[in-house]
Every structure is written in structure tokens, then in C-alpha cells.
Amino acid sequence: MTTIGILGSGHVGTNIALAAIANGYDVVLSNTRGPETMASLIDELGAHAKAATSEDAAAEGDFAVVAIPLSTVDQVPVGPLAGKVVIATINYFPERRGHIAEIDNGTTTAPGLLQRHLPQSKVVRAFNMINAEEMSHDGHPAGDPRRRALALAGDDVEAKQLVAELYDQFGFDALDIGPLSESWRLDAGQPAFVAHQDLDQLKRNVANAKRLPA
Ligand SMILES: NC(=O)c1ccc[n+]([C@@H]2O[C@H](COP(=O)([O-])OP(=O)(O)OC[C@H]3O[C@@H](n4cnc5c(N)ncnc54)[C@H](OP(=O)(O)O)[C@@H]3O)[C@@H](O)[C@H]2O)c1
């Protein structure tokens, strides 16, 4: 049984957990307030879910999903995630939470900040461009006309393969758009963001992305 450590048990963490359990994974969820605050969520998710501290969720996961605000990236435990694939769902909303000059000027990206904090992990940006509820409720088998495509970006080929397989299991086509440095193409405000799109439409939307003025 593969275990996914999920940091963040809000909208995204919960829906990734639902989809993961439906596809045969075990999940370990965490938040900032401690495992006891997730008792009712774990009851709802059932026997394949448990709550833990972020340290333990990171340690117990064969790979991890980081579904937290960008503002708390520095609190993600580093050691237990070393060598592991880490999926970053994190988005950057400067109008809500303030500007970060390095992102605005293109020096880095939102998941790039997580990669810098976790230098020994293999960070892949994924699931950032779809609404949380749709992660667990809008997947469809290959060939279904309703099947949507989702993009991913990262610097490690094997890590991206794992994420592409996860997308497929959850019912989505996968488009690898290149290294983490290209992941700004999936940001809020870009054509691919939260669009319902198939693979060809997603390719066009990614190609049509333009750096937004800060
Ligand atoms: N909502 C969407 O539709 C959506 C879609 C795609 C991507 N995203 C992005 O995904 C991320 C999560 O979004 P969300 O909507 O799930 O947010 P949310 O509902 O506000 O949940 C955030 C969760 O992260 C936890 N958290 C914060 N810092 C943490 C840390 N350092 N370690 C462990 N847990 C931590 C919070 O715990 P506490 O409750 O204890 O504070 C909470 O459980 C954001 O970056 C967002 O931009 C959101």
C-alpha cells in the first residue's frame, strides 16, 4: 500500500485525500493545529486516512502533497521529505496576501520557493490549476469526452512520471510543461488556470501564457 503524506487539510488536502483513497492509497493528513483537530475529517474519510503532525505526515508518506498557503512554506519539515517527490498545489495571490518581488520579477515561482526550502526533495507543481472539489469529483476514464487535462512542471523526470500516473488514476490527462521555472504558465490569471480543457486546449493555453505585470 502506498501512503501519501498530505500537508494541509483544507479544501485541497481533503479532496486529494478523497481521490487518493478512492484509488487505493492510504493518506496521512496534517494541519497547523494538531491531529486532534482533524478527528471528524478522519471519521469521514474512513480507515485509510489518519491524522498526524506535519513532521509525521511527511515522514510516513512515500511521497507528499503540500496543500498550504504560500505564506507558510518555510514551516514545511525539510528532513522527512528529503529524497521524496513533493507535489506543490500552492498558488500565489499577491492581491490577497501581498507581493513577493522574486516571483513578480520572474526570478522564481510559487513552487520554486518550496523547492528552495526543500533542496533535497523533488518538487512538482500539480493540481494548482483546478478547483479543489473537482480534484475528487470531476475525474473521468481515458476516452470519456468529459475527461480534462491537467498540467505539471518540475525538474525531475521520474517525479513527473509519478505525478502523471496520479493524474491518470484520478481521471485526468497529464501535460508535462517542462521545468519548475516554466510553472508560472499555470499561475492564477493565466489562460490554463481553472479552465475546463482537454489536452489540445491545455497545450494551446500553456503556449499562450504571458508574464503578467506585477
Ligand atoms: N481551494 C482551491 O480550489 C485550490 C485549488 C488549487 C490550488 N489551491 C492552492 O492550494 C493551497 C491550499 O489551498 P486550500 O484551498 O486547501 O487552503 P485552505 O482550505 O485554507 O487550507 C489550508 C490548510 O493548510 C494548513 N496549513 C497551513 N500551513 C501549514 C503547514 N505549514 N503545515 C501543514 N499544514 C498547514 C491549514 O491548517 P490550519 O487549518 O490548521 O490553519 C489548512 O488545513 C493554496 O496554496 C491554494 O492557493 C487551492
* pLDDT for residue 10 is more than 90: yes
Mutate to test the pocket of ligand 1, among 28, 29, 31, 103 (most ligand atoms within 8 A of CB): 31
Put the strands of the sheet holding 63-66 in their side by side order: 49-51, 26-30, 3-7, 63-66, 85-88, 122-125, 148-154, 172-176
Confirm whether 153 is domain-assigned: yes
- Would you state the pLDDT for residue 97? 82
Ligand 1 cavity residues, CB under 6 Å? 7-13, 30-33, 54, 67-70, 72, 75-76, 89-91, 128, 131-132
Q: How confident is the model at residue 213 (pLDDT cuts 50, 70, 90)?
A: confident
Which atom of ligand 1 lies nearest, measured to the CA of 13?
Answer: 16
- Would you state the pLDDT for residue 212? 84
Per-chain mean pLDDT for the chain: 97
Confirm whether 76 is domain-assigned: yes
Confirm whether 214 is domain-assigned: no
User: What CA–CA distance (Å, rounded) separates 108 from 103?
Assistant: 5
Confirm whether 9 is domain-assigned: yes
Confirm whether 212 is domain-assigned: no
The enclosing H or E element of 30 equals strand 26-30
Cβ 184 vs Cβ 214: under 8 Å: no
Q: pLDDT tens digit string along 12-26? A: 999 999 999 999 999
Domain extent, residue 157, equals 3-207
Confirm whether 111 is domain-assigned: yes
Which residue spans within 70-201 are E strands per DSSP? 85-88, 122-125, 148-154, 172-176
CATH value at residue 76: 3.40.50.720
Confirm whether 151 is domain-assigned: yes
What percent of the chain shows pLDDT beyond 90?
Answer: 97
- Would you state the pLDDT for residue 19? 98
Q: Name which residue sits closest to atom 6 of ligand 1, judged by CA.
A: 128
Total tally of structural domains belonging to the chain: 1
Confirm whether 213 is domain-assigned: no
The model's pTM is 0.98
* pLDDT for residue 214 is more than 80: no
